[in-house]
Amino acid sequence: MKPPSPRLLLTCGLAVLMALAPLAVRFTGNEYPLIVLTRIVILAIAAVGLDLILGYGGMVSLGHAAFVGIGAYAIGIMTAEGITSGFVQWPLAILAGAVAALTIGALSLRTRGVYFILVTLAFAQMVYFVSVGLDAYGGEDGLVIPTRSQFGALLNLSNRTTFYFLCLLVLFATIALVAHLARTRFGLVLRGAASNERRMRALGFPVYRYRLAAFVIAGALAGLAGILLANHSEFVSPSIMNWGRSADLIIMVVLGGMGSAIGPLLGALIFMLTEELLSHVTTYWQLVFGPLILLVVRFATSGVAGFFPERTDEG
């Protein structure tokens, strides 16, 4: 039997460590770290989804936060309209993310390269302005979500520890899904198209459809992250769709390692903890963070996951 690969060990190690985190919180009696960690896990879900199109598919989407926002707004709006059952809310919110991704993706994927970056950014801005215009649901000020999604006796999302474990479960299911997809024929076509689109087409693959499918999956996962984020902060406002948030997600993916499924989690951890740490040291943390991003881009493009190879056999 082959020994497990460093990548698999890393994934399992992280899963165990993160599952133990609530224990540490129980001992110290300080809930703040758990709140931060929950947020990291949620953003990591969106980042892992983004990795499917950015890392594996080579599509630089600078508008991914829009789908997170759509998922979150779906929860906010349904709650405001009196629909609080998670069994209704969640599928609809995920569907909203997927449908938005289908629409935006169908148009954006006709473009290539820098046009694709700018067009996804533009569509995300459009969604952002629509949310600003939602006067009935708070407009620019946002919308308070008074009750978290109800799952009857099955789950109580108001319990912080329960909610954290749910997020963690979703995250690792997402990582497993993306890692699995990457190995299937679907993933191989996606990766092939990223390295040489013309060749994949010559081989007869409908590259556009594969890419669109990946874009929709990523959009649905972002919608799912949005659902969790809305439940986590019990609030949603247009600012979660700010273009900077889309850039944050890309940074997480690049930092952790593109096309590695587990990388975005590492990226999200490093990104958010650095932000947390720096903002405790100085109010002007972006003064340090900005140059750090440049250094990562210049010198560490394979990301942290690059240190943990996927295979044990050399060469």
Partner 1 sequence: MSLFIEQTLNGVQLALLLFLVAAGLTLVFGIMDFMNLSHGSLFMMGAYFAATFVTLTGSFVLGGLIAIVCTTLLGFVIEAVWLRPLFGRGHLDQVLGTFGLVLFFNDFVRLVWGPGGRTVGLPQMLQGHVYFGPNFSYPVYRLVLIAVGLLVAAGLFLLVQRTKTGMIIRAAASDREMAGAIGADINRVSAMVFGLGAALAGLAGLFAAPILTVQIGMGDNILILALVIIVIGGLGSVRGAFLAALIVGLIDALGRAYMPNLLRLILSPVAASTAAGALSSVAIYILLAVILLVKPQGLFPARGAR
Residues near partner 1, by CB under 8 A? 54, 60, 62, 107, 110-111, 113-115, 117-119, 121-123, 125-126, 129-130, 132-133, 135-136, 139, 243-244, 247, 250-251, 254, 283-287, 289-294, 296-298, 301
From residue 195, alpha-carbon distances to 58, 199, 226, 304 in Å are 8, 9, 31, 22
- Whichever of 39 and 248 has its CB closer to partner 1, that residue is 248
Instruction: Tell me which residue of 77, 112, 69, 96 sits closest to 244, measured CA to CA.
Output: 69
Q: How far apart are CA 106 and CA 209, in angstroms?
A: 9
Instruction: Tell me which residue of 107, 100, 116, 90 sits closest to 227, measured CA to CA.
Output: 90
Q: How far apart are CA 77 and CA 97, in angstroms?
A: 14
Q: How far apart are CA 70 and CA 64, in angstroms?
A: 10
Find the shortest distance in angstroms from Cβ 255 to partner 1. 9
Find the shortest distance in angstroms from Cβ 129 to partner 1. 4
Q: How far apart are CA 64 and CA 95, in angstroms?
A: 16
Instruction: Tell me which residue of 55, 233, 184 sits closest to 225, measured CA to CA.
Output: 233
Give the HSE-up count for residue 69: Cα atoms under 13 Å, Cβ half-sphere: 27
Q: Give Cβ neighbours of residue 158 (< 8 Å, ≥ 6 apart).
A: 148
Find the shortest distance in angstroms from Cβ 267 to partner 1. 12
- Whichever of 279 and 312 has its CB closer to partner 1, that residue is 279
Query: How many C-beta atoms lie closer than 10 Å to residue 147's C-beta?
Result: 11
Query: How many C-beta atoms lie closer than 10 Å to residue 152's C-beta?
Result: 9
Find the shortest distance in angstroms from Cβ 126 to partner 1. 4
- What's at 203, amino acid-wise? L
- Whichever of 151 and 285 has its CB closer to partner 1, that residue is 285
- Whichever of 19 and 293 has its CB closer to partner 1, that residue is 293
- Whichever of 66 and 168 has its CB closer to partner 1, that residue is 66
Angle separating helix axes 160-183 and 32-51, nearest 10 degrees: 20
- Whichever of 159 and 301 has its CB closer to partner 1, that residue is 301
- R_g over Cα of the chain: 19
- Whichever of 86 and 219 has its CB closer to partner 1, that residue is 219
Residue 119 φ then ψ, to 5°: -70, -40
Find the shortest distance in angstroms from Cβ 215 to partner 1. 16
Find the shortest distance in angstroms from Cβ 303 to partner 1. 12
- Whichever of 19 and 80 has its CB closer to partner 1, that residue is 80
> Is 50 within 8 Å of 227 (Cβ atoms)?
no
Q: How far apart are CA 78 and CA 244, in angstroms?
A: 26
- Whichever of 91 and 133 has its CB closer to partner 1, that residue is 133
